[in-house]
Structure 1
Amino acid sequence: MADIDYFFATLSPFSYLAGQRLEEIATRHGATIAYKPVDIMALFARTGGVPPKDRHPSRIEYRAQELQRQTRKTGLPLNMKPAFWPTNAAPSSYAIIAAGRAGGGDLGALCHGILRACWAEERDIAQDEVIRDCLAQAGFDPGLADSGLLAGAETYSANLEEAVERGVFGAPFYITADGQRFWGQDRLDDLDAHLAEMKG
């Protein structure tokens, strides 16, 4: 069992704004991470959430302000209206699942590379050439974009069911081995502190 189960979506700007701080925290505490991409729109539908486009104007406006604040805070570039969003998140999610099984590269870097491609580089993460490039940049075989599609689909679906069962309702979402849940990249400091307490 992983020390941190990480539920995220390759379409989530807040997953992107987490950068690679989760990996830095895990390294500091000697913790393992299980990467679990989920279909965020399906998760919203299952847990009482609403897709961004269907939210009340006040919520849409607040989300935009919060994204700008978090962008300044993290220093990560972000396009508020990326050219290829929303897009089909399944191919990039399947590639992450395949890479996690194959090993040989940096899974955290792959996840961030895919998110960065969407939110900062104006690239369509549903396209094979984009996914292949992200795989290669993170040290994986680009051919993983074409392999294990059935297994990827099954795991992607299973991740959604697990997320609903374990109380996940947004992304990014972190669950520690002792069942503590942390929602949002702005809770990473709290996750860090909790892992320190667990060790202490």
Structure 2
Amino acid sequence: MARSRGRPALADRAQIDEAAAELFLEQGYEATSVDDIARRAGVARSSFFNRAASKADLLWTSVDHWLDVAERELLEGTEAAETALERVAALCDRIPDEDKPWAIVHRDAMGTRDALLIGVGPRLARYEQLLTLVFGGPRTAEATRVRVLMAVVATRLAGERWVRGSGVPLGVHLREVCRELGLIDADGNPGR
């Protein structure tokens, strides 16, 4: 039986993400169902769930991917805690503009604002836990916690600048915000 519409039956996660992005732009997040996305991607509903846990998780594909990369790479490093922010910024330098989370970039047009607010908590908690491990070391627990929380805020602010701009890597924005917050000095050395 020939398929008349949709993508091939063996759609991968990227095709599902693309189908979701198209539909969210066309009809909005709330008006788009998992069945709509599966149909547009050319997969059965059950196949959709083999590749994504939920419609809401599609909003976070690139963020989740880069958190996975960060966990692998930053936890392998042996540098001193003083270079932790630079290690994070260097990883952020590698994130290409095309990996900007489309659901954040187009949140107003897609109507994803509320769903993003719900899904951001687990990602921030995961990032905070990662930074706690990366920043760990000779500092006291309280000092480490303050630095971690400030780095989370810095990353959030840098992310907003990155999403709104073009061509400037996330790592550059992160270093800039870290300097503004006093986390690093003009030379990139740890601040306060």
The two structures share one fold, judged by TM-score above 0.5 = no
The TM-score by the shorter chain falls in which range? under 0.3
Q: Which has the larger radius of gyration?
A: 2
Higher relative contact order (CA 8 A, sep 6+): 1
Structure with more of its chain in strand, by fraction: 1
Give TM-score, length-normalised by structure 1. 0.26
Relative to the length of structure 2, the TM-score reads 0.27
